[in-house]
Amino acid sequence: MRTAGRMGGGDIGTCGVCHTVASLTCGGCGSMHYCGKEHQRQHWPKHRVECPPYKVVSTPEAGKHMVASRKLTAGQMLVYESPVVVAPLSICPLLCLGCHGSITGDDFPRCPKCWWPLCSLACASSRLHKGECAILALDTKHIAPPTEQGETPRYDVIAPIRCLLLQSTNPSGWQTILDMAHHSEQRQLNKEEQHLITVRYLSDVLKLDYDLDILNQARGAVATNGMEIRSDKNTRVRAMYPLIRLFNNSCAPNVHLSVAYNGMIQARTTVPVSVGEPLCICYTGALMPIWERNETLTLSYHFSCNCPRCGDPTELGTHFSSPRCPDCVQSYLLPCTWLGETVWRCKLCKQEESNAQVLENVKIWLQRIEMDDIFSGCSLKRSKAALQEVEDDFHPQHYVWMRAAHSALYRMSDNNTEQGLNMRIKIWKRLVALYTVLEPGLTKRRGMSLLETGIIMLRAAQLEHREGEPFMPELLERVRTVVKYLDEASQILSMEPTESKGPAMVQKTEEVKAEAEQFLQRLDSETVRAE
């Protein structure tokens, strides 16, 4: 049975057995209440099946967050839930408020009541738009409705309005919004422009009958807890989830999120987790360099991260953000904080570069990669030289190398010559090694990368075999590795939701695996004959 649990502390609920007021909670999940030990014991056979693998705890530094309520294995399902609010992103291109579909052309229809752009007039009375339409129509001078095609921040007002509407349509959803971290005082103090504009619009233009604090809180909750997902129309939107919002951040996460086509989201562990260990996702995406993670976490989420990766200047040994030392060239620059400013210092010769210098060099390289100028011409030789050039300036596992490597792989995707395949294998193996540290365990990215690596290794082995060496034990070993990679890829990808690309990816993996196993059998029989 779960441990005794907590008494008092203001956490009052209803006893899971007799439904009287209860202040004892299950020590495992902390969410089931009991009036006393006797009823807790009596209820355990039933509750043990449902007792969630997480519990919500709170600390002054990190607020509410999820921790493992028991020892968890990799791949353990934690949460599967639907959003409480879905709305356009803060800044987005024209999007229909009735269905979240894109709006094309310049001559788009508008809602006759509120004047916001729609994809068709039928969407004016859609369930999604109906409630907010009467509120948006209070803007009689049409100050907010976008006027033309193109990205616009005007959609920022929609999500807070949809949150406020929950008060009458879904009171428990509204309570969830009120319980969310929002940092609205900080946003006002920092004079966050978009926050101030939206709140002012809600209070001064729409003249909504809400306390200014509530308007600030609703807008702050959206900014702090909204997650970008794909709508069923395949557009980018943001969604807020009642439990998912309780995962705190780590830049080396142990929880993976996957969103299904219908907006349902699932969270599962990617690695084994011990009891009491925080369950974390990465808000910025783990494949971001330290300065981008810092900036987003500080400016948008209002905290500075001290996860194991951010606390280690080598970023878990990857040197993902480290330039090569321009002076001694033997070692790499590591970030150090000096009087509140970041400077980059060589491990070996102590040479220093300013943060601005380091970032400028990265910017130049990213522009070159984006413009394809480092790969000019399609030759393998040029791609190899370009990647080497990147390594002359950065650590071989640096963010810029990763971006250049993907760009090179894209250019080489049709190159199925022996050299082309071998070069692609080398790059993919290095990427898998990097992802294994930064997004370890059962993550979709590792699954997809193992699948890609497996396919290319198989093609290379088949080509070598066709070209005729009769007995190659080393080739046999390589194809065995392919099967291992594909086995792991299939295990990972089969954890994606049914209503997502997951099943198609699993099918593809299984097809390639069957091909690899057949090839393996053939090689096996040839080996026996040769022996």
Ligand X SMILES: C[S@@+](CC[C@H](N)C(=O)[O-])C[C@H]1O[C@@H](n2cnc3c(N)ncnc32)[C@H](O)[C@@H]1O
Query: What residues line the site for ligand X (CB under 6 A)?
Result: 61-65, 180-181, 183, 224-225, 245-246, 248-249, 301-303, 305
Q: How far is the CB of 56 from ligand X (least distance, A)?
A: 9
CA pair distance 436, 267, nearest whole angstrom: 19
**CB atoms near residue 231 (< 10 Å):** 21
Rank residues 178 and 432 by Cβ distance to ligand X and give the closer one.
178
228 or 373: whose CB is closer to ligand X? 228
Minimum distance from residue 287 beta carbon to ligand X (Å): 18
Cβ nearer to ligand X, comparing 157 with 305: 305
CB of 66 to ligand X, least distance (A): 9
230 bridge partner residues: 236
Tokens coding 493: 């990808």
Tell the smallest beta-carbon distance from residue 189 to ligand X (Å). 15
Choose between 53 and 226: whose C-beta lies nearer to ligand X: 226
Q: How far apart are CA 194 and CA 191, in angstroms?
A: 9
Please state the closest distance from residue 246 (CB atom) to ligand X, in A.
5
Shortest Å, Cβ 216 to ligand X: 15
| Shortest distance (Å) from residue 225 CB to ligand X | 5
Structure tokens at 473: 């034990």
Cα(106)–Cα(402) distance, integer angstroms: 39
- State the amino acid at position 97 in one-letter form: L
The nearer residue to ligand X, 98 or 242, going by C-beta atoms, is 242
Would you say 69 and 30 are in contact if contact means Cβ atoms under 8 Å apart? yes
Q: CB nearer to ligand X: give 284 or 490.
A: 284
DSSP 201: I
Token pair in block for residue 238:
């943001």
* Residue closest to ligand X when measured from CB atoms: 63
| 287 closest CA partner among 505, 491, 437 | 437
Q: What are phi and psi of 381, to 5 degrees?
A: -60, -40
Q: Whole-number minimum distance, CB 177 to ligand X, in Å? A: 11
Long-range contacts of 289-292 (CB under 8 A, 24+ apart): 289/320, 289/321, 289/362, 289/399, 290/315, 290/320, 290/321, 290/335, 291/321, 291/342, 291/355, 291/359
Taking the C-alpha atoms of residue 451 and residue 486, their distance in angstroms, rounded to an integer, is 6
Nearer to ligand X, 57 or 137 (CB): 57
- Phi first, then psi: what are they for 520, rounded to 5°? -60, -45
User: Identity (one letter) of the amino acid at 390?
Assistant: V
Tokens of 239: 């969604």
Compute CA 303 distance to the chain's CA centroid, rounded to the nearest angstrom.
18
The CB-of-26 to ligand X minimum distance in angstroms stands at 21
Q: Which residues contact 379 (CB under 8 A, 6 or more apart)?
A: none
Q: Which is nearer to ligand X, 116 or 301 (by Cβ)?
A: 301
Q: How far is the CB of 183 from ligand X (least distance, A)?
A: 6
- Are 56 and 66 in contact by the 8 Å Cβ rule? The answer is yes
Whose Cβ is closer to ligand X: residue 221's or residue 472's?
221
Q: Could you tell me if 7 and 23 are in contact, meaning their C-beta atoms sit under 8 angstroms apart?
A: yes
Between 224 and 443, whose beta carbon lies closer to ligand X? 224
Q: Which residues pair with 255 in a beta bridge?
A: 269
Instruction: Name the H helices within 206-307.
Output: 212-225, 290-299
CB of 419 to ligand X, least distance (A): 45
Cα 277 to Cα 55, 101, 250, 303, distances in angstroms = 10, 40, 12, 20
Amino acid at site 17: V
d(CA 361, CA 366): 9
Nearer to ligand X, 183 or 324 (CB): 183
How far from the centroid of its chain's Cα atoms is residue 387's Cα? Answer: 27
